[in-house]
Amino acid sequence: MVLLWGEELVQIYNDAYAAIMGKKHPAGMGLPTREVWPEVWEFNEPVYRRVLEGETLTFENQLFPITRQGFREMRTSPFAIAPCGMAPIPLQACLSQSLRRLHRSGQKRRTLQLSGV
């Protein structure tokens, strides 16, 4: 899970999200999400705007072009994002099951690449 704090949406996250960050961790801790994930800002910015207005949004199998291991990869992951508490501070709550699925899919792909399949 990642908490996006304040107007700049500064990232504060747990170990499960650190695994998703890949090589962007630990440098991404405490930085604005726009700086850490510029490759998905076009998708994320209107989502964050809606959450700041009080909406809770869920996405099933959303495709993201992300760069987390030093190269661009297309990743699919369901996630939910909602305002946190009484203040309009967005909380991006990636479901733990989704995070495990994302991590497992990367492991499976590496295994297939190593086995030559």
Q: What is the mean pLDDT of residues 16-44?
A: 94
Instruction: Compute φ and ψ for 55, nearest 5 degrees.
Output: -80, 150
Q: Per residue in 56-91, pLDDT tens?
A: 888 888 888 989 899 999 988 788 888 876 554 454
Residue 93 confidence class, pLDDT cut points 50, 70, 90: very low
pLDDT score at 87: 52
β-pair type (89-93, 72-84): antiparallel
Average pLDDT, the chain: 78
Name the token pair of 65. 């072009």
Q: Name all domains of the chain by residue range, CATH numbers in brackets.
A: 2-115 (3.30.450)
Q: What DSSP designation does 4 have?
A: E
Residue 47 has pLDDT above 60, yes or no: yes
pLDDT score at 96: 33
Residue 97 confidence class, pLDDT cut points 50, 70, 90: very low
- Provide the 3-class DSSP secondary structure of residue 58: strand
